[in-house]
Structure 1
């Protein structure tokens, strides 16, 4: 676990603002008829055009590296969806997870979007998953045990009839995309608990399923889906612990963003 000083957090904030702008490029393209491959190309061009590095492209896998700058996961796909030429359709739910490195510092955040109008189940799933992240942002401050926050996030999802993915968790972030500690979205004794301290920066990313929590990985070796085929949603921000609370690093220049 690494503690960042104020100057380092300021550099992470610059990376986070660029990532926010990148997400706006992607969001404006989310409409029927546009493919996730087209979104990925626009994102990759934008990141590289701002002298930054796409974090996800080339990440090693069990069989093959991840081939894109965006994890684009549609409907029952939870995370790590590989962009393709299938046009998005009205009623789809698409989760876009993007990461970049700027001046040596990483930013990583995700947002799920409705493609035009979605059904009642997907609309509620989007709302509740975003609220889970909002709970974390509201409760994160020095001295609090992470397990307390994780329990509250999971309870909110389950109270609304949904399930929380347990095989995939958030993480610390800094000069590397994945740093200690592991940041689960549910209470578990299977991972070390930790107390929040000023200077910690965590990528908090609730993943919530409309059906059961069970998952399956596709034959492309990357895409993680719900086993029952029900939709899933994913929201993520990079969050720094401050002396009095926390600061979202991956929001817009005026503090705008999902779960805020």
Structure 2
């Protein structure tokens, strides 16, 4: 399958879908507190996407080959859950960390983003993991420009993460995105610089490193979707959708409530 190059009109449509996805996270943030269930967060998100944004929650009934349909409208990955956690009636506790992953379809185009939230008063280690994973995503974004290679992105993330004594999950990666939820290319969060596909203007993809406090090995959670750390250590993930511009990158999944940029990042587009 080839990598699709988006036109200016395509990218403008994706800006809308991506902004809407980020705005769902803005909405959910104040609700992430001890005692709330991830089912309640899913309900709030679903109602807003469908009734207010007049859009479609992409995860609901999403069924890639070999999987059963995903039963909810968002993914909620708590503590040792790496990705694809299914919302449930289990309340969040003080000190939990949770990744909320939102994908919205608007006018046929997908916008995909996720953020980490610390529930109540998190531990120093948990807050450090979330903050460093956010930095790792941006280390990858900064490598995006025409002529760079996908391996440059992965290497920047892996080098930063491992220098902090953390580990990068290798079985799941970022992906091209557009009219389809998952397109080519795959965006590995590890690798060697100067390898893999060359970046060209109009390519749109997600960068979404999954970082474990312990070892990188994973295991399946038993429900057909949930992936957890094998050693039960905490895991964090952040995700943005980006487009390769003529001179660098533009982050599409931004909204009024997006977190501040790391100190080493000066712009969301260049």
What's 1:153 paired with?
Answer: 157
Contact 1:130/1:259 (<8 A) preserved = no
Matching of residue 28 in structure 1 with residue 30 in structure 2 = yes
Matching of residue 131 in structure 1 with residue 140 in structure 2 = no
Matching of residue 216 in structure 1 with residue 216 in structure 2 = no
What's 2:265 paired with?
Answer: none
State how far apart, in whole Å, the 2-side matches of 1:259 and 1:168 are: 25
The CA deviation at 1:244 is 1.1
Summarize deviations over 1:203-233 as a string: whole Å, max 9, x none. 1100000000000111111100000000000
Q: Secondary structure at the match of 1:198?
A: coil
Matching of residue 197 in structure 1 with residue 174 in structure 2 = no
The CA deviation at 1:253 is 5.3
Contact 2:174/2:188 (<8 A) preserved = yes
State how far apart, in whole Å, the 2-side matches of 1:60 and 1:11 are: 24
TM-score, normalised by the number of residues in structure 2: 0.92
TM-score, normalised by the number of residues in structure 1: 0.95
State how far apart, in whole Å, the 1-side matches of 2:156 and 2:239 are: 16
State how far apart, in whole Å, the 1-side matches of 2:173 and 2:30 are: 28
Q: Secondary structure at the match of 1:134?
A: helix
Contact 2:146/2:199 (<8 A) preserved = yes
Aligned positions, number: 257
Alignment RMSD (CA, Å): 1.6
Unaligned runs of 5+ in 2: 263-270
The CA deviation at 1:64 is 2.5
What's 1:42 paired with?
Answer: 44
Change in Cα spacing, 1:142 to 1:217, as seen in structure 2 (3 Å) is same
Larger mean Cα displacement after TM superposition, 206-215 or 23-32: 23-32
